[in-house]
Chain A
């Protein structure tokens, strides 16, 4: 029972981390109708920027304080992501307005390749370290109730809390601020939003920047866990089932979907995995999402797809 709780908690926390990445997908899809396959590459790019700036800024300016280095690196990386968003909007999105979904999907795949190559050219292809002071050792709780206690990974716990705070901030941003309202209007109907004077291009830049900063936070958390290296972009593949399970257009969906996928993945790997030889978690997550979709084809919280004939 104790181990079951461990797996459950582990799954919930990993789920929160997946939803952090899924959030980027949802934000961009909500506001520009583009399924951004490049989100993984953006997470990688942001994480590499953060890791390298953390190394370089102290050398360039010449000081030794870790916290200051982290803060400056974060600011620099966020700036880089805003620039990336600007470039993408300018060079790609502007010219692909109103194209079919699959064309936009392919364009983001092209951006993925470009960012991966560009990131490795700028920042190198070794393993880089992100050190934001996350604790690495585990903590044992409920030792009285269960033999050996229930192991909680402190790093994951902190990360899950950060993710929750970020989601809350984003939810507030969307509901309460004028820009948030403008983003929701654009998500509803591009043309109608344009006709009432909402500047489409600027909104897209804002959205991609916000998604970029979300990618940066996700990159920092995952990078701190796994080390910043090319394969970080593959974590996005694990976050995709979260996106479709929760619904492409729903921020709470990304969270709930993340929790479901996280728990489902871990429980399946631990309890069903050994029977099948192990290594099942990645396809199990997708199959789980698939089953949910069979019941609700638009995801749990997604917008109902209405076909007009």
Chain B
């Protein structure tokens, strides 16, 4: 008991002094939830490094956002929901807090319920709740650039293209090897919808998290002999899946992974064994884009790099850079309306996220030409862009093997609306009014 009281008193005083020192919000604070430990660290670390390096670069190169300096603090979540919630609770009271980007679908689900009360936007680029694309219900969620439904849709389109037309999919078998968690299960409704539409058979093969031992899953694949396998894994599950695919002789060319299953940590160790494996990618990789060059110049050359230099420009690192750029641009956009050079509140940043207009010219000026496609959000559409490409591993590097694919909104929009409506009824929320959209 004494221990508890003493540590609580210490904690309370220190917390009070700490928050007291920051009472005036002079800087824009970015809480960075990340995981550098645990089973998902190999993929989480480059992502987190990309995010931090971009912020450091904006401070070094531009002096902040229109003069407002950026501060950040990383919090280790280990991909665990309760630690993510604890990090959120600790960091949400910091002055100048901008937005939260949890890097994990499980944490997203937990925070989705909390952000409307706390009025801090939740940025979930390429992951999270697929239904949160509907800004009419999910005022504070921003699944920019894609969700698992758009990803699954694009993969089916690509497979259809390979077969010579979506109608040729009739009678084929597609297996989904997925991480047995909300992340892995999210694409299933869309895949089932597409299976109904085109007449292919969907076999669902779950892999118990974290996906360490997958022999049975791949023996089942061998038994089912599907024409294609969709890989929906994260962390070590991807590399293990590819190794097991090699061990059971399943042709890697027939495997298509989601954009979280197609990065260097997943294939580097498998090397030649993963040759021919395809995956979606939201962005390019490599050290040529101007923004990456700037990061190398202003951050790494000055010895301030968060991670190793050869990690800069890898797939997940670049994605982290993009994610952070979207956050920074949202602040910049909010400043245009609410006051240039001032620190933006969560509500103002939310407006900024909802009114992003990153056309090709803007992307070029930011240094992102060729890295991603233009994006623009609106009150009803919190996704902004639904483009991705397929890249293939040739044994030593990734190279793009498809055109830009766009998710089919005809199929997805009604599903999103239905899911959002269901969520609204469950939580007793009402759809936003047009007046609310203008605020």
What residues of chain A have their CB less than 8 Å away from a CB belonging to chain B?
3, 6-7, 10, 14, 120, 125-129, 136-138, 151, 153, 155-156, 225-227, 229-232, 234-235, 238, 265-266, 269-270, 273-274, 277-279, 281-282
Contacts and interface: CB of A to CB of B under 8 A. Distances in A.
B211 to A, nearest CB: 8
Interface of B: 36-39, 41-42, 45, 180, 204-208, 210-213, 215-216, 219-220, 222-223, 235-236, 239-240, 243, 246-249, 265, 268-269, 273
B36 A125 contact: yes
Contacts of A282: 208
A interface majority secondary structure? helix
A227 B215 contact: no
Contact of A230 (B37, B220, B268, B273): B37
B216 A265 contact: yes
Contact of A231 (B205, B212, B269): B212
A265 B207 CA distance: 14
Q: Top 8 closest A-B pairs, CB basis? A: A269-B216, A231-B39, A279-B206, A125-B41, A129-B269, A127-B42, A278-B206, A231-B210
B248 A138 contact: yes
A275 to B, nearest CB: 13
Nearest to A129: B269
A226 B248 contact: no
A125 B236 contact: no
B180 A279 contact: yes
Contact of B219 (A6, A226, A232, A234): A6
A126 B41 contact: yes
A281 B239 contact: no
B243 A266 contact: no
A227 B236 contact: yes
A53 B236 CA distance: 21
B216 A235 contact: no
A273 B220 contact: yes
B273 A278 contact: no
A128 B236 CA distance: 11
Contacts of B265: 126-127
Contact of B273 (A136, A156, A281): A136
> Interface centre among B207, B223, B240, B247, by most A CB within 10 Å?
B247
A125 B246 contact: no
Contact of A235 (B38, B204, B206, B213): B213
Given A125-B41, A235-B212, A278-B205, A229 B236 contact: yes
B253 to A, nearest CB: 15
22 contacts: A3-B222, A14-B215, A120-B37, A125-B36, A125-B38, A126-B45, A127-B239, A136-B243, A136-B247, A137-B246, A137-B247, A138-B249, A153-B248, A226-B239, A230-B37, A231-B38, A231-B235, A235-B212, A235-B213, A238-B213, A278-B220, A281-B216
A14 B220 CA distance: 16
A125 B42 contact: yes
Contacts of A281: 208, 216
Contacts of A278: 204-206, 220
A68 B27 CA distance: 55
B426 to A, nearest CB: 24
A138 B247 contact: yes
Nearest to B216: A269
B239 A227 contact: yes
A230 B39 contact: yes
A3 B268 CA distance: 31
* Most chain A Cβ neighbours within 10 Å, of B37, B38, B39, B216: B216
A230 B265 CA distance: 14
Nearest to B265: A127
A7 B240 CA distance: 19
Given A7-B219, A127-B239, 11 more contacts: A126-B41, A126-B42, A126-B45, A127-B265, A136-B246, A138-B248, A231-B236, A266-B216, A266-B219, A269-B219, A273-B216
A151 B248 contact: yes
Contacts of B248: 138, 151, 153
Contact of B243 (A7, A125, A128, A225): A225
A49 B149 CA distance: 41
B223 A270 contact: yes
A243 to B, nearest CB: 17
A28 to B, nearest CB: 23
B42 to A, nearest CB: 5
A282 B210 CA distance: 12
A227 B240 CA distance: 7
B243 A227 contact: yes
Contacts of B247: 136-138, 153, 155-156
Contacts of A136: 243, 246-247, 273
A205 B235 CA distance: 36
A266 B215 contact: yes
B240 A226 contact: yes
Contacts of A6: 219, 222
Contact of A10 (B180, B215, B236): B215
